[in-house]
Amino acid sequence: MKLDAGIRFLAIEGVIGVGKTSLARVLADKLEATLIEEEFAENPFLPKFYENPEAYAFQAQLFFLLSRHRQFQDTFVQNDLFRNLVISDYTFDKDRIFALQNLTDSEMAMYETVSTVLSKDLPKPDFVVYLQASVQTLMHRIQGRNRPMERGIEGNYLRDLLERYNHHFWHYSDCPVLIVNTDNIDFVHNEKHLSQILDVIASSPSQTTYLVPEGG
């Protein structure tokens, strides 16, 4: 399957545990695209942040900001891969969602200064797939993958983060957004679910679209 020529950069977004990377990998394989995966495991401050958020939030956030900027620079600027479809399991904008959730006012002011400089020349996605799920579903998936650093994540934290994500993507205007409810789907092992997502992307909607995949 080939996408509309206007879609050269497709981003998958959503809260922790919603399935961003899984969908990005499946789509990249299906569409023969270049894949950008977030390098969360390389952040030395992330485990410390989960243990002591107040002490390590700024360091963890700044590391992510610089890491994401470097990844986008490497892919889009240095290698000029915009000739091929690029699929990412995050948007550069998502960094600010976490910053608003985790940083103090003074830390946020410094963060905004750095972020504004870094984001100036970075490409924005042509299409975003925003994956949603209930807090209960997210907690179940996080517990199921059993990453040591995520064991301390609480439902209230996810609930607050989910509200910020919803607000961000419900008001997102940089490109069309497909909002997919993932509570009862499996796009990795269920071809029907994946096909429904692909069909909407391929139709190139010009505005926000909602999808609750059907079929077993």
Q: Which residues are catalytically annotated? A: 89
- DSSP element (H, E) containing 121: none
What long-range pairs does 150-159 form, CB within 8 A, spacing at least 24? Answer: 150/16, 150/17, 150/50, 151/50, 152/50, 152/51, 153/16, 153/50, 158/15, 158/16, 158/17, 159/135
Q: How many helices (H) and strands (E) does the chain have?
A: 8, 6
Tokens of 22: 């899984």
